[in-house]
Amino acid sequence: MSREPDPAVLYPDVAAHGSLAAALRSEAAAQGMSLPLAVTPSDPLRHATITSVVPHRHSSYVAAWHHERNWTFWGSSNNRLMICGSTKDIRELPQVIRGWAEGAGLDEIRRTATFDLLTGRFEVPDNNPADVIASEWQWLLKDADRADWPQYQALIESAHAEPKLRRLYPYTSHWALGFAEKPDVPYSTPSFVSIGSPWGTGDYTIREWWNGPDLHHAATAAEAIAIAVDRIPADLLRTSSDQPARDS
């Protein structure tokens, strides 16, 4: 295992300012802007937190990599990751941080950024379950499109096309797709199906939970989804039918 470089050696320009927050504020001032950044006492040279005027935008920060000179921006809303991206140039960060802190829309932030930012979910200020579920489906669809894994993409798209599943909260674990009644702590919800997608050739594997014993194998995503629908518990099916499936 390679030894972790001293952050003062890897980031001497940041060390000269005493903290990443101070270095970013200095760079922002050079660009004619100010940023609401706070020092992270436990790791001041590699971590800085962002305060937004939008109340539900919290747990947002910039973090420096440990073994390579690079910075990652993370923006979360109601405990769900909304936007993230990495750059080797600290000068590219202030514009993105300001947009997030001042409440700019996710698409606007992405368009004005000079480095790649990944977005997928849409913000749900009131955290209502139906919109959170729709937002998560949107994220999964975009993530599957980027994954360069045709079988996984087919699985996500087939699941989203099924209204009975689209009403449920989708989540993945080890590239297997599962469902929960509500967005909150889905992994604590009793699982009724977990669908693993093959890489390359092979069948889709249906289990009750992601590392449980194999129950079925299906040659196509459509067949796997049909099995999943048949496994939806009656009480869950009845509850989810009370909420209309929202397009995402």
pLDDT, position 8: 95
Mean pLDDT of the chain, nearest integer: 89
Structure tokens at 212: 């449980």
Provide the percentage of residues in the chain whose pLDDT is more than 70: 92
Helix (H, G, I), strand (E, B) or coil at 125: coil
Instruction: Give the confidence band of 106 by pLDDT, cuts at 50, 70, 90.
Output: confident
Tell me if 115 sits within 8 A of 86, measured CB to CB: yes
What is the DSSP code string of 28-95? HHHTT----EEE-TTSTTTEEEE--SSTTEEEEEEEE-SSSS-EEEEEEETTEEEEEEEES-GGGHHH
| Greater model confidence, 160 or 4 | 160
Q: What's the whole-number mean pLDDT along residues 44-53?
A: 95
The label of the residue with tokens 């689209």 reads 166
The pLDDT of residue 214 is above 90: yes
Read off the pTM: 0.67
What pLDDT is recorded for position 163? 95
Q: What pLDDT is stored for residue 240 in this prediction?
A: 58
Residue 81 has pLDDT above 70, yes or no: yes
What's the whole-number mean pLDDT along residues 32-48? 96
> What is the structure's pLDDT at 244?
54
Question: pLDDT at residue 246 above 80?
Answer: no
Q: Reduce the DSSP state of residue 232 to 3 states and report it.
A: coil
Asked whether the predicted pLDDT for residue 226 surpasses 70, the reply is yes
Say whether pLDDT at 180 is over 80. yes
Which of 58-67, 191-200, 235-244 is predicted with the least confidence, judged by mean pLDDT? 235-244
